[in-house]
């Protein structure tokens, strides 16, 4: 590579990439993509045209698994027989793009979470309900001050989410039927609760965002419980958590984290006083095969692996033996490193700027770091091994190497920190009920 510079690939912000389709916080995209592919409905393309994508069971499987491994660079085939990449597809309005930013995703979230409230309320009103459209419409009319999703959004949900809402209502009723609740999503009370947290967090700076404090999507509130506890007048996040814990134990106020429900739904209580158990760190890996054959790296623990890579931003995904535990963004990773060794992780943008301005200095700096883990490779051989690697690959592997070399001897601390974030079980997180 010498002093030559790799060209930066300009990413089209409107592209419906594979990564965008399988985003955990935009679960509707995967369902919608598969549905359109099966029905032969046209997709909007980035060049302004439309195309029908032939159904492929392998692509559906990859999307369901959230992994593009083995798909190749042009896995999609149009009705005209043209092989194309996911990047040729436009992130249109129905996928949460098209000039509305994340609107489509936000709309879907509002609809599915409001729907769960309405289905739950109907279950409490009539345990023998058949969840007919008329029943749901009447129930929604009684709840217009409690949920921000419209009746139309709720009634037009796809079959998968309808089933999930029914199963969610039933499992909640089985566990909580001894009390009568009002169900809240986007209500005035929820807004007041979230604003109180934000006010306190601006001073205490314990969390990057609301969801890391409490991933609750909806709330079940017993009659009169909204103002029974000192939640909205709390003077600290710890006091808020204590009041919410008292309300949770009394089954008066229950925050509930939702996921699309599978075959065997179950409830799990989180942050209610049980000791936190972190997996035990076992080893670090700079690649499952060879350092230069993959842009990722792993912190491994008993029963889990933490994969670090750009996707497209630098992130960590935590995978257990039977399920994924969640993802942590660059900010959380950097905070974990800061907490462990007293300095943050260099961000991707800073590294890209350095590489663009002076690639030779970047590579010298990279080699000095790499030589700490492999003194057997001289600088020329190192540069040769990197020749032809994309900028994204270089940024990803550099950040993995910087992180792992910096935290050597502190891996358990970082693993625990990141596991807490992913599980929303930091020392200062709020109690909630999780449907999984």
Across the chain, mean pLDDT equals 86
Say yes or no to pLDDT of 420 above 90.
no
Closest CA to 309 of 399, 370, 369, 385: 399
Cα separation, 220 vs 333, in Å, equals 33
Reported as a single tens digit per residue, the pLDDT across 41-68 is 899 998 889 999 999 999 999 999 999 9
The confidence band for 362, taking pLDDT boundaries of 50, 70 and 90, is very high
Reported as a single tens digit per residue, the pLDDT across 179-237 is 999 999 999 999 999 999 999 999 888 888 898 889 899 999 999 999 899 999 998 88
Burial level of 101, CB count in 10 A (0-12/13-18/19+)?
Answer: exposed
- Please state, for a pLDDT cut of 90, what percent of the chain lies above it: 54
> In whole angstroms, what separates CA 8 from the centre of its chain?
27
User: In 231-280, where do the E strands start and end?
Assistant: 253-257, 267-270
Burial level of 135, CB count in 10 A (0-12/13-18/19+)?
Answer: middle
DSSP string, 122-180: HHHH-TT----HHHHHHHHHHTTTTB-S-HHHHHT--HHHHHHHHHHHHHHHHHHTTS-
Cα separation, 148 vs 126, in Å, equals 23
DSSP, res 15:
B
Say yes or no to pLDDT of 424 above 80.
no
What is the pLDDT, as a whole number, of residue 256?
Answer: 92
The number of residues in the chain equals 436
Reported as a single tens digit per residue, the pLDDT across 16-44 is 999 989 876 566 688 889 988 988 889 99
DSSP 3-state of 300 = strand
């Amino acid at each position: 590579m010498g002093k030559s510079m790799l060209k930066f690939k300009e990413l089209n912000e409107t592209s419906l990439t594979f990564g965008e389709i399988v985003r955990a916080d935009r679960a509707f995209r995967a369902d919608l993509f598969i549905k359109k592919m099966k029905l032969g409905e046209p997709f909007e393309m980035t060049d302004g045209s439309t195309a029908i994508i032939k159904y492929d069971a392998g692509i559906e499987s990859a999307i369901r698994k959230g992994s593009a491994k083995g798909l190749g660079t042009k896995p999609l085939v149009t009705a005209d027989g043209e092989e194309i990449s996911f990047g040729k597809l436009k992130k249109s309005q129905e996928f949460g793009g098209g000039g509305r930013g994340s609107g489509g995703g936000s709309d879907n979230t509002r609809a599915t979470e409001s729907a769960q409230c309405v289905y739950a309320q109907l279950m409490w009103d009539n345990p023998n309900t058949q969840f007919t459209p008329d029943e749901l419409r009447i129930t929604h009319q009684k709840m217009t001050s409690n949920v921000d999703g419209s009746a139309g959004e709720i009634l037009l949900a796809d079959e998968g989410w309808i089933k999930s809402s029914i199963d969610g209502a039933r499992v909640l009723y089985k566990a909580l039927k001894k009390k009568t609740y009002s169900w809240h999503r986007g209500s005035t009370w929820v807004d007041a609760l979230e604003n109180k947290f934000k006010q306190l967090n601006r001073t205490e700076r314990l969390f990057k965002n609301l969801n890391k404090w409490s991933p609750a999507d909806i709330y079940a509130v017993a009659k009169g419980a909204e103002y029974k506890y000192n939640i909205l007048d709390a003077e600290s996040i710890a006091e808020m958590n204590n009041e919410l814990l008292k309300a949770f134990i009394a089954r008066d106020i229950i925050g509930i984290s939702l996921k699309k429900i599978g075959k065997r739904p179950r409830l799990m209580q989180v942050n209610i006083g049980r000791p936190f158990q972190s997996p035990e760190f076992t080893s670090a890996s700079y690649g499952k095969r060879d350092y230069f054959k993959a842009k990722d790296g792993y912190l491994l623990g008993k029963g889990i692996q933490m994969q670090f890579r750009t996707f497209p931003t630098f992130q960590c995904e935590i995978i257990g033996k039977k399920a994924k535990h969640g993802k942590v963004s660059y900010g959380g990773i950097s905070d974990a490193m800061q907490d462990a060794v007293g300095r943050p992780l260099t961000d991707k943008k800073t590294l890209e700027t350095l590489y663009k301005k002076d690639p030779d200095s970047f590579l010298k700096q990279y080699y000095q770091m790499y030589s700490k883990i492999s003194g057997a490779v001289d600088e020329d051989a190192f540069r040769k091994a990197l020749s032809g690697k994309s900028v994204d690959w270089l940024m990803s592997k550099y950040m993995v190497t910087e992180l792992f070399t910096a935290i050597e001897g502190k891996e358990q601390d970082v693993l625990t920190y990141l596991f807490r974030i992913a599980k929303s079980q930091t020392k200062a997180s709020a109690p909630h009920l999780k449907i999984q």
